[in-house]
């Protein structure tokens, strides 16, 4: 099957476009500028909230809506206005809060533009801040009104047994899905965490919605990523590229593996060249 020429490049942020210090490699910034000059759209497809990546979009002068929070938010990078959102279903919030209250992991609630947590989560707050540095420490996260007003998702942090039990509870709620993992982030190795979001929401679903807005097909999308939350995106688009440091699952899902990695930078530039965009 011959793919149509690509019209959109979607890049992950952490481990892909960004170095470990949060900066953009000059070669990739130049490639994105060159793509814009050629009329090729560029967007982020990231696990970060918009409040955690909007400044990067402004730095690159992006104009295409951003896919944020693993597909939960689609946001206009110029105005900051929400284009589309997939909040937690209202009837799933109560049993989720009940399970959190019983198991007492460190709980971080994703509100409309910030993360809400309480003193119980102080230890893990620096880890969770990778999603956004817009964080509010409140008296009780489980009693916060954000649960009733645009709760977009949540992260629970704790020992493996507690996270496993919580995941079992969440998996019993048909409108929610979860992903549990052990952190490999420097300084937080060995921390167990679990992300909860609306069932069916992923980077792939976010890109599908964006493609419909842009009136293009996913076959016309180039995606670049490096981690497990990129798997759905890799499998959905016409052309996908895994960063050099990607784990085996991501390598297997991608069409090609890049020579560039998060240390060298240049992955976006390399993917743009390989896909014929530059």
- Please state, in angstroms and rounded to a whole number, the distance separating the CA atoms of residues 214 and 78: 16
Record the pTM.
0.95
Q: What percent of the chain shows pLDDT beyond 90?
A: 94
Please tell me the predicted confidence (pLDDT) of residue 188: 82
- Please count the other Cβ atoms lying within 10 Å of the Cβ belonging to residue 235: 14
Backbone angles phi, psi at 45, to 5 degrees: -130, 95
Tokens of 24: 């953009």
Q: How far apart are CA 264 and CA 81, in angstroms?
A: 34
How high is the pLDDT of residue 150? 84
Residue-wise pLDDT tens digits, 243-259: 999 999 999 999 999 99
Q: What residues form DSSP beta bridges with 154? A: 109, 196
The DSSP line for 217-266 is: -GGGEEEEE-SGGGHHHHHHSSEEEE-TT--HHHHHHSSEE-S--TTT--
Residues 107, 100 contacting (CB under 8 angstroms): yes
CA 31 to chain centre: 22
At 33 the pLDDT is 98
- Structural domains of the chain, with CATH: 8-85+201-274 (3.40.50.1000), 90-198 (3.30.1240.10)
Q: What's the CA gap between 255 and 42, in Å, rounded?
A: 19
Instruction: Report the run of H or E that residue 180 belongs to, with start and end.
Output: strand 176-182
pLDDT in tens, 18-48: 998 999 999 999 999 999 999 999 999 999 9
Closest by CA position to 273, among listed 261, 252, 253, 258? 258
């Amino acid at each position: 099957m011959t793919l149509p020429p690509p019209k959109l490049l979607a890049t992950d942020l952490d481990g892909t476009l960004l170095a470990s210090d949060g900066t953009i490699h000059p070669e990739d910034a130049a490639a994105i500028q060159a793509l814009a000059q050629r009329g090729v759209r560029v967007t982020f497809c990231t696990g970060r909230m918009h409040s955690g990546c909007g400044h990067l979009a402004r730095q690159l002068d992006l104009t295409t809506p951003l896919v944020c929070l693993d597909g939960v938010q689609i946001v206009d990078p110029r105005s900051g206005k929400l284009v589309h959102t997939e909040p937690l279903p209202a009837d799933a919030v109560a049993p989720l809060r009940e399970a959190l209250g019983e198991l007492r992991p460190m709980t971080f609630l994703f509100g409309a533009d910030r993360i809400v947590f309480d003193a119980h989560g102080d230890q893990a707050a620096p880890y969770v801040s990778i999603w956004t540095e817009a964080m509010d420490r409140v008296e009780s996260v489980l009693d916060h009104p954000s649960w009733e007003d645009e709760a977009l998702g949540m992260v629970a942090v704790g020992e493996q047994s507690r996270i496993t039990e919580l995941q079992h509870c969440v998996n019993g709620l048909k409108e929610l899905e979860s992903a549990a993992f052990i952190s490999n982030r420097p300084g937080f190795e060995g921390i167990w965490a679990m992300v909860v979001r609306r069932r069916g929401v992923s980077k792939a679903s976010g890109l599908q919605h964006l493609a419909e807005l842009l009136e293009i097909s996913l076959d016309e999308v180039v995606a670049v990523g490096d981690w497990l939350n990129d798997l759905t995106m890799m499998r959905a688009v016409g052309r996908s590229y895994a960063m050099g440091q990607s784990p085996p699952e991501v390598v297997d899902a991608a069409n090609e593996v890049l020579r560039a990695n998060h240390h060298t930078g240049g992955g976006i530039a390399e993917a743009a060249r390989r896909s014929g965009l530059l």
